[in-house]
């Protein structure tokens, strides 16, 4: 009986450790192309991709850490990343979905892998902001284009909720005060030339896989969808930019009122809370540390005329693309992103309450020993 009791305590201790909530999840943010004739190329040598720093601050402000996800890599790279992070953010930007080895191709890999992970029982939230929302819908519609032209650049708007908004996952826990602020004040900032409409969703049955939660109207009065969530998967999209009121100061049309800050923070808090439901982690904290955004520094680009106050800019070498032979995906990764020799450093136990599994497992083991010694 004593042996059975000890075994049971060990099992309970292990289960408690495995189910421990991840307090500071790692969320991957997809990079996107820097164009040869653009502002960044004229001022920064050899920079080929970027992430607006506002997305990084947006996630950090809710308690997450950020890992840059490179464009232009093969399938096995994205598989490796997606089995270690706790969520994905597809940012807004100015690129096309048909750029070879660009934002659209990388996003397709990430979305497909997120579907597979969720189907296998691993919680993997995906958030799309503006262009990212458009990409989510586009790829899950098997590449069929449903967007229309919209006059949605530089406009701050309140949220026009659908009647049943509070039964959605996204808004089920929102307070009445925040709802009132979103409805009454211009708290969401839009900067987009395309949009989706409820009519298009209904005609092609997209409303069977996506739930429309809010609407808005562009400069010309055209109604468009501004907030969605997937019916089956933890996928969410907003046509506006919740990060800009908090962290972008390049245009006078961006609202920075108290209400807009509260609204923006609500969305980042929600996304990070979704990522905390994921129990994935890196092999060790050293591997994680070497891949986080902290290995790079943002550049002050609005002073040069950019629409972003700061940007993280990356070279092909930093993205692991400089000397990689053109090998088909079936031939393996070949870029050192796996566990084989890329991180020849001592294993660090993550003391920051993050996604390393080493510390919680060790704590659970100690807890079990304490219980056994007491008895």
Instruction: Please identify every residue annotated as catalytic.
Output: 130, 241
Sign of CA dihedral 339, 343, 344, 348: negative
Pairing of strands 148-157, 188-195: antiparallel
Which are the contacts of 131, defined by CB distance < 8 A and separation ≥ 6?
90, 91, 92, 93, 94, 95, 103, 192
Q: How far is CA 119 from the centre of its chain?
A: 19
Rounded CA separation 57/65 (Å): 9
Distance (Å, rounded) from C-alpha 48 to C-alpha 63?
A: 29
Q: Residues 6 or more apart from 301 whose CB is under 8 A from it? A: 39, 40, 43, 308, 309, 310, 311
Q: Is 236 helix (H, G, I), strand (E, B) or coil?
A: strand
Contact 225, 212 (CB under 8 A): yes
Contact 225, 215 (CB under 8 A): yes
| Residue 62 and residue 89 in contact, taking contact as beta carbons nearer than 8 Å | no
Number of other residues whose CB lies within 10 A of the CB of residue 343: 18
């Amino acid at each position: 009986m004593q042996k059975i009791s000890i075994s049971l305590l060990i099992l309970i201790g292990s289960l408690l450790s495995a189910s421990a909530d991840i307090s500071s999840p790692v969320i991957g943010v997809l990079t996107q192309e820097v164009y040869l004739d653009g502002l960044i190329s004229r001022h920064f040598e050899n920079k080929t991709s970027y992430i607006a720093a506002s997305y990084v601050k947006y996630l950090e402000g809710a308690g997450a850490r950020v890992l840059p996800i490179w464009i232009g890599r093969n399938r096995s790279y994205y598989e490796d990343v997606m089995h270690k992070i706790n969520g994905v953010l597809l940012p807004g930007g100015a690129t096309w979905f048909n750029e070879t080895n660009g934002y659209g191709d990388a996003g397709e890999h990430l979305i497909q892998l997120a579907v597979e992970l969720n189907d296998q029982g691993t919680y993997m939230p995906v958030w799309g902001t503006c262009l990212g929302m458009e990409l989510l819908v586009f790829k899950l519609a098997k590449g069929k284009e449903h967007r229309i032209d919209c006059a949605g650049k530089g406009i701050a708007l309140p949220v026009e909720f659908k009647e049943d908004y509070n039964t959605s996952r996204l808004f089920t826990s929102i307070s009445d005060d925040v709802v009132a602020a979103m409805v009454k004040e211009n708290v969401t900032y839009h900067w987009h030339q395309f949009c989706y409409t409820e009519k298009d969703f209904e005609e092609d049955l997209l409303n069977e896989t996506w739930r429309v939660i809010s609407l808005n109207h562009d400069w010309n009065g055209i109604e468009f969808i501004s907030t969605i969530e997937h019916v089956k998967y933890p996928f969410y999209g907003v046509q506006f930019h919740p990060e800009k009121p908090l962290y972008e100061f390049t245009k006078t049309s961006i609202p920075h009122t108290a209400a807009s800050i509260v609204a923006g923070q609500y969305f980042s808090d929600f996304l990070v809370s979704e990522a905390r439901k994921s129990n994935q982690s890196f092999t060790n904290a050293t591997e994680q540390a070497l891949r986080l955004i902290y290995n790079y520094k943002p550049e002050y680009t609005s002073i040069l005329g950019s629409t972003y106050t700061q940007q993280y800019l990356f070279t092909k070498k930093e993205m692991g693309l400089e000397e990689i032979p053109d090998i088909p995906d079936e031939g393996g990764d070949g870029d050192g992103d796996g566990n084989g020799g890329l991180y020849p450093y001592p294993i660090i136990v993550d003391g920051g309450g993050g996604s390393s599994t080493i510390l919680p497992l060790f704590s659970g083991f100690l807890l079990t020993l304490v219980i056994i010694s007491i008895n």
